[in-house]
Structure formats: C-alpha cells, structure tokens
C-alpha cells in the first residue's frame, strides 16, 4: 500500500426535506460532519446558517464561529445538526454560499482509536486493515489554529440546482417515501472545495 499523507476532510451537509401533514411547504435541516485522517478540526467562520442555535448537536459554539470535530473516515454517526441556510427557504439551494474556514490541530480531547475504518464485508470482517490508526475526537479543550490553512471560498451551487438530483427533490417513490437531497462539500488539503449532490429517501411519517 502506497503511503501518502492526505488531509481528507469532508464537510457533509445533509439537507433533509419533509412535508408536514396538511401543508405543502417543504422544510429542511442541515447536518455537518468532518472526517479527517490527520485528526484536524475545522473552524467555520460566519457559516451561512440561521442564528438559532437550538438545533446544534455535537459541535462547539463561539457565536458566530462553529467548531466541528473530526470523525473516523467512513463512519457517519454523531452528525452535527445545524439550522437551515440563513435567509433561505424553498425547494432549491441558494445560488451560492460563502464558506470561510480554517483547520486546527486539536489537543486534550476525548479520543477513541480504531485500527481500521468502519468498512465491513457482508461477513462482518473488515475489508482491509490499514497501517495507521483512525480516531474520533470530541470535547477538545485546545484548538491550535493553523495560520497557513485559512481559506475563503465561494461555492457555486447553480449547476447543482439544475441537476437531476434536484429535479427529483420532493417526488415520491413507489413505496410512498419522498426523495430528499444530500449536499456534500469536500474540503481538500490545498484549500479547494468540491460540491456534489446525492439523492436519498425519507419516510415522511417518521
């Protein structure tokens, strides 16, 4: 296995749409997750979500800064739940969002280690054992900001709004479940961002 050092940080925004009983208006929530093989946390400055913090879970807040802890790559439990995008409601994403962010080294954390990512064959055995340990970090007391890893990016979402994934948004499958949208924003180690959409299904009665 070729050894390479990559900072693979993924910020996953999961936009879950549901229809309330007796109401045709669609609503959504935003969920965030960071997966880092290097264990870096991500600090989001003025991220464009509403100012109501009631929905935040598994995140450290210092208004208006959001501190997102890293997680085991491939393990998407304990997602950070955020309010919807600020000043936006509707069946489409905003045309663009501005993301200002910075990577940080973390210390004095509640940390757990795994010998391999949580990827398993149907037999229950891991697909592969890697030569490095992966870990989750929570409740970190110290965030050492890396001055050379601060970025400000405008993420263009216009093409995603015209995509087949968005056209399917809100429609029903044969079993009656509604089709939702997952917006993935990938944070790369060179500071560039890549956004993509993925459809998912949601049982409106749960």
What pLDDT score was predicted for residue 10? 57
What pLDDT score was predicted for residue 111? 67
Strands 34-35 and 70-71: parallel
Residue 4 lies in a domain: no
3-state secondary structure the chain: CCCCCCCCEEEEEEEEEEECCCCCCEEEEEEECEECCCCCEEEEECCCECCCCCCCCCCEEECCEEEECEECCCCCCCCEEECCECCCCCCCCCCEEEEEEEEEEEECCEEEEECCCCCECCCCCECCCCCCCEEEEECCCEEEEEEEEEEEEEEECHHHHCCHHHHCCCCECCCCCEEEEEEEEEECCCCCEEEEEEEEEECCCC
What pLDDT score was predicted for residue 149? 92
What pLDDT score was predicted for residue 4? 44
What pLDDT score was predicted for residue 194? 73
What pLDDT score was predicted for residue 30? 59
User: How many domains in the chain?
Assistant: 1
Residue 3 lies in a domain: no
Q: Which residues contact 98 (CB under 8 A, 6 or more apart)?
A: 46, 48, 152, 153, 154, 155
What pLDDT score was predicted for residue 146? 94
What pLDDT score was predicted for residue 2? 43
Residue 198 lies in a domain: yes
> What stretches in the chain show pLDDT beneath 70?
1-37, 49-64, 71-91, 111-136, 185-191, 202-206
Report how far residue 179's alpha carbon sits from residue 166's, in angstroms, rounded to the nearest whole number. 10
Residue whose C-alpha is closest to residue 10's, from 119, 129, 130, 101: 101
Report how far residue 186's alpha carbon sits from residue 206's, in angstroms, rounded to the nearest whole number. 29
Domain that holds residue 112: 9-202
Residue 2 lies in a domain: no
Contact 204, 28 (CB under 8 A): no
Residue 1 lies in a domain: no
Query: What sign does the dihedral 81-117-151-93 (CA atoms) show?
Result: negative
Report how far residue 65's alpha carbon sits from residue 180's, in angstroms, rounded to the nearest whole number. 28
């Amino acid at each position: 296995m070729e050894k390479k050092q990559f900072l693979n940080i993924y910020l996953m925004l999961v936009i879950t749409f549901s229809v309330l009983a007796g109401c045709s208006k669609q609503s959504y929530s935003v969920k965030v997750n960071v997966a880092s093989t290097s264990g870096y946390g991500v600090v989001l400055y003025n991220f464009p979500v509403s100012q109501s913090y009631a929905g935040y879970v598994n995140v450290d807040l210092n208004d208006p800064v959001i501190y997102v802890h890293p997680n085991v790559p491939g393990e998407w439990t304990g997602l950070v739940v955020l309010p919807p995008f600020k000043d936006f409601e509707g069946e489409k994403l905003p045309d663009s969002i501005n993301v200002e962010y910075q990577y940080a080294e973390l210390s004095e954390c509640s940390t757990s280690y795994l010998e391999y990512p949580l990827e398993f064959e149907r037999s229950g055995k891991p697909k592969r054992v890697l030569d490095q340990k992966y870990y989750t970090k929570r409740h970190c007391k110290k965030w050492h900001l890396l001055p050379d890893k601060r970025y400000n990016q405008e993420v263009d979402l216009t093409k995603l709004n015209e995509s087949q994934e968005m056209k399917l948004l809100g429609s029903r499958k044969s079993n009656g479940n509604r089709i939702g949208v997952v917006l993935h924003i990938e944070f790369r180690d060179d500071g560039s961002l890549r956004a993509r959409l993925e459809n998912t299904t949601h049982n409106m009665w749960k």
